[in-house]
Amino acid sequence: MKKVKKKDADTLQKSNIREEKKRMRSNKLHKWPDWIEWILCTLVSGALIFCLYRLSMLDLKIMIAIAGMLIALDLIFLVLLLKRKQFKWTSVVFRIVLLVYVLAAGYGTYTLNNTYNALNDITSSVQSIVKIDLLTKSDSSLNSIEDFANKKIGYSNSADSFAASSAMSEINTQTATVEYVDMNDYQQLYEKLMNNEIDGLIIPHNRISLLKEEYKNISKDTKTIESFEAERQIKPVSSDIDISQKPFVVYLAGIDEGDDPSIDARSDVNILVMVDPLNNQMTTVSIPRDSYVPNPALGNGSDKLTHLGNDGALNSMEGIEEAFGIDIDYFAKVNFQSLIHIVDAIGGVDVDVKIDFNEQDENRSFKKSDKIYLKKGMQTLNGKEALAYARHRKTAGYGTTGRENAQQQIIQAIMKKLTTAEGITHINDLMNVASKYVATNMPLSSIQSFVSKQLRDVKPWSVDSITLKGGSDATLTTVSMPSTPLSCYLLSPGDITKVYNAYQRMFDTSKMKDFKFDLSANPKCTIKYPKDQDISEYMITSADADRLNPYSVYYGIDRVDSSNAQVSEQRAQNNNIEIVVPQAPVYEYVPVAPSVPEDTGNPGDNTTTPSVPDDTGNTGDNTTTPDVPADPGTTPDVPVDPGTDEGGSVPSEPVVPPADSSGQETN
C-alpha cells in the first residue's frame, strides 16, 4: 500500500477545507434572495392579517384560523430555508413558491385595504354641499361683487334661507351697501332681473335647472358673477338597529347633476330598497320622480318628488316617509354619471332591453353621432348604453313606468354580475369608482355587521320589485315653483297601501295558522300589523283629484295657498301649458246574481229548487229569489285599485285603501 506523505495529506485537507468554505460562502450568497423573499412573506402575512381584522367582515374564529395558517406557512418556509445546505433545483422551486405567495398575499392585502378605504370614504360623508350663484344679465356692466355697491340683489328666504344667508354673508364681506329684495318665487325674481328691476339674483345652482324648464335661454341671457359653496351638516345616524338581524330600508337617490354625490340636486331616480336579512328577502320600490308629495323643507307643501332632492337626500327621505307612513333608515346617493363608470368597471351588464329606442348621450347631446341606439332583446350593455336605457322614457306607451322598470333591471343586473367570478375580479375597479361617486349615511360598522352575517350564513336571496302605476297624471302648481303649473303624478291610495304593506310584512311574525277569513259576513283579513298606517295630513292622492285647483299650492287637501294662483294661471296661458285634469279613480261594483235552476213545476222532475234564506233566516219556502248584494254605495267591499294588479307587485294586501274623498273644489 502506497504511503501518503504527511505534507501531501495536509495539503489535501487544507484544500478540502477551502472547498467547503467556498461552498458555504456560495450557499450563503444563494440564500440571500430567499431570505429577502421570506422577510417579504412575513410582512405581507402580517399586513393581510391586519387588513382582515380591520375590515371585520369575517367571523372571529375564521380570522384566527386564517391567521394561524399564514403564520404556520411562514414558519414552514423558515425551516426549509434553514435546512437547505446547498443550492439545487429544489431551491429554484422554493424561490418560485415564495414569490407566488408574496404576490398572492400582496394582492389580497391590496384588495382588502382598497375595499376598507372605499367603504370608509362612502360612509364618512357627513355633509351636503349647496352651490350658489350670483347672476346678472349677460349684457350688464357689472363684473364683480364690488360693482354691486348701491345695487339691488334678489333672493328667496322662504325657498332657500340657508343658501341665501350663506351667499349674503360672503357678499357683505366685499361690499356692505347692497339692497336685498326678498321674494318667495325664483321665477318672478328672474323676470325682475330681466326687466332691470333688480341688478342681481342669488340662486342655488340646482334651482337654475328648474328655471331652465321654462326659460330655455337662461344660460345665454345671464352670466355668473360669483359662485359660492356652503356645507349643510348631516346629522350622524343615531339608530342602533342591527341590520344583520332586523329589517331595514334604504332610500336610493340618483342625482343627475355634476359628478360629486355630496352635491344637493334633483333626484331623477327614487328607489326604496327594503331588506329583510332574516328571510333573505329584498324588495325594490320605484317611486315616480314626478310624484306629488309633501316637501318638508318648504313647510310640507306639495311638490314633485324630484325637487325634494334640491334640499338634500334627508329631505327626500322625510318626504317619502310622510307620503307612505313608513320609516326609512338610511340613504345612498349615486350620481347618474357614476352608472357609466360602475358598469364599465365590472365589464358591462346583461339586460333584456324591452324596446327599440335612441336616446341622448351622457352629456345630453342629441347629435346623431352622439346619440345611443339600442335594439330590443337580451344584450350586454356598456356604461353609456346602460345610462341611456335607465334615462329613456319618450317612446309612446313606454313612459315613466318603462323607465322605472329599466332602472330596476339595471340595478338587478349589476347585483347579479357582482356575484359572478368575472364580477369579483373587478372588485378593486368597482371600489375605486364607488369611493368617488357614491355616498351614504349608513355607518361602516353596520355594513361590516351585515356582510359578516351573510358570509357566516350563505343563502340565496329573493328579489322582487314594485312599480307604482295606479295613480293619475295631473298638471299642478308646486310649492318650489308656485307661479307655474307643472306635470305631476298623483299616487293612488292603493299605491300607498301597497308600499306600506310591503314594509310591514318585513316585521310580521304571524304564523300561517293565524291567517283566516270571516265568511259569515263580508270576507275580511284578520291579520293586523304591529303598527297602523299613519296617514299624513299633508299627503294628497288621486282620490282627492276632483278637489284640486291646478294653480294653487297645497299643504294638505284642506290647506290651500292661492296667493300666486292668478300669476300661475296667466303664465300657463302665456306659455300654452296644457292643463291635464286628474281623474279620481272610479271603483265600480257590479252585482252578479247566482245561477238558479228554473222551476218547471213538473212533479216528475227530480230537479229541486234550492232554498234561499230570506232576511229573517227562514228557509221553509221554495222561493227562487237569489240573495242580492247590498247597494254598491254601502257595501264594505272595496274593489281592486287599478294600480295593484301588477305582476311584479306584492300579492296580498290586508290593509284596505281609504275611500275616495269627495267635496267641492277649493280655490
Q: Tell me the pLDDT tens digit for each residue of 154-184.
A: 999 888 888 899 999 999 999 878 999 998 8
pLDDT of residue 460: 83
Give yes or no for residue 96 having a pLDDT over 80. Answer: yes
What are the residues facing 439 on neighbouring strands?
Answer: 333
Q: What angle do CA 112, 117, 119 make, to 5 degrees?
A: 95
392-396, 433-437, 595-599, 644-648: which range is least confident on average?
Answer: 644-648
Q: Averaged over 256-266, what is the pLDDT?
A: 78
Give yes or no for residue 489 having a pLDDT over 60. Answer: yes
Give yes or no for residue 438 having a pLDDT over 80. Answer: yes
pLDDT of residue 634: 40
Does the CA dihedral 157-163-165-168 come out positive or negative?
negative
Percent of the chain with pLDDT over 90: 39
- Which is more confidently placed, 215 or 21? 215
pLDDT of residue 397: 74
423 to each of 57, 413, 416, 417, 482, how far by Cα in Å?
Answer: 19, 11, 9, 5, 47
pLDDT of residue 294: 97
Amino acid in position 630: A
Question: For 127-233, CATH number?
Answer: 3.40.190.10
Give yes or no for residue 15 having a pLDDT over 90. Answer: no
Rank 29-43, 370-384, 447-461, 514-528 by mean pLDDT and report only the highest: 370-384
pLDDT of residue 143: 93
- What pTM did the predictor assign? 0.76
Give yes or no for residue 545 having a pLDDT over 60. Answer: yes
Give yes or no for residue 31 having a pLDDT over 60. Answer: yes
Does the CA dihedral 309-312-315-320 come out positive or negative?
positive
What is the rounded CA–CA span in Å between residue 62 and residue 47?
A: 17
**Is the CATH number 3.40.630.190 carried by domain 248-335+426-574?**
yes
What is the rounded CA–CA span in Å between residue 131 and residue 204?
A: 6
pLDDT of residue 5: 57
Which 3 state secondary structure label does DSSP give 574?
helix
What is the per-residue DSSP string for 408-442? Answer: HHHHHHHHHHHTSHHHHHTHHHHHHHHHHHEEE-S
Q: Averaged over 8-37, what is the pLDDT?
A: 65
Q: How confident is the model at residue 26 (pLDDT cuts 50, 70, 90)?
A: low
Give yes or no for residue 210 having a pLDDT over 70. Answer: yes
Cβ–Cβ < 8 Å for 554, 539 = no
pLDDT of residue 667: 39
Region(s) of the chain under CATH 3.40.190.10: 127-233
Cβ–Cβ < 8 Å for 96, 46 = no
Give yes or no for residue 538 having a pLDDT over 80. Answer: yes
20-24, 170-174, 363-367: which range is least confident on average?
Answer: 20-24
11-25, 445-459, 509-523, 640-654: which range is least confident on average?
Answer: 640-654
pLDDT of residue 555: 96
**224 CB contacts (<8 Å, ≥6 apart)?**
133, 134, 135
Region(s) of the chain under CATH 3.40.630.190: 248-335+426-574
Q: What angle do CA 483, 485, 489 make, to 5 degrees?
A: 140
What is the rounded CA–CA span in Å between residue 437 and residue 262?
A: 9
Classify residue 5 by burial, with Cβ atoms within 10 Å: 0-12, 13-18, 19+: exposed
Give yes or no for residue 651 having a pLDDT over 50. Answer: no
Nearest Cα to 436, choosing from 19, 117, 107?
117
Which 3 state secondary structure label does DSSP give 505?
helix
Which 3 state secondary structure label does DSSP give 146?
helix
pLDDT of residue 239: 62
142-156, 516-530, 646-660: which range is least confident on average?
Answer: 646-660
Q: How confident is the model at residue 3 (pLDDT cuts 50, 70, 90)?
A: low
Q: How confident is the model at residue 9 (pLDDT cuts 50, 70, 90)?
A: low
Give yes or no for residue 209 having a pLDDT over 70. Answer: yes
Taking only the tens place, the pLDDT of each residue in 129-140 is: 888 999 999 999
247-256, 375-384, 415-424, 473-482: which range is least confident on average?
Answer: 415-424
89-98, 391-400, 500-509: which range is least confident on average?
Answer: 391-400
Give yes or no for residue 596 having a pLDDT over 70. Answer: no
pLDDT of residue 328: 94
Instruction: Give the start-end residues of each E strand in 446-495.
Output: 462-467, 472-477, 485-490
Q: Averaged over 80-107, what is the pLDDT?
A: 85
- Which is more confidently placed, 477 or 576? 477
Give yes or no for residue 69 having a pLDDT over 80. Answer: yes
Mean predicted lDDT score pLDDT of the chain = 80
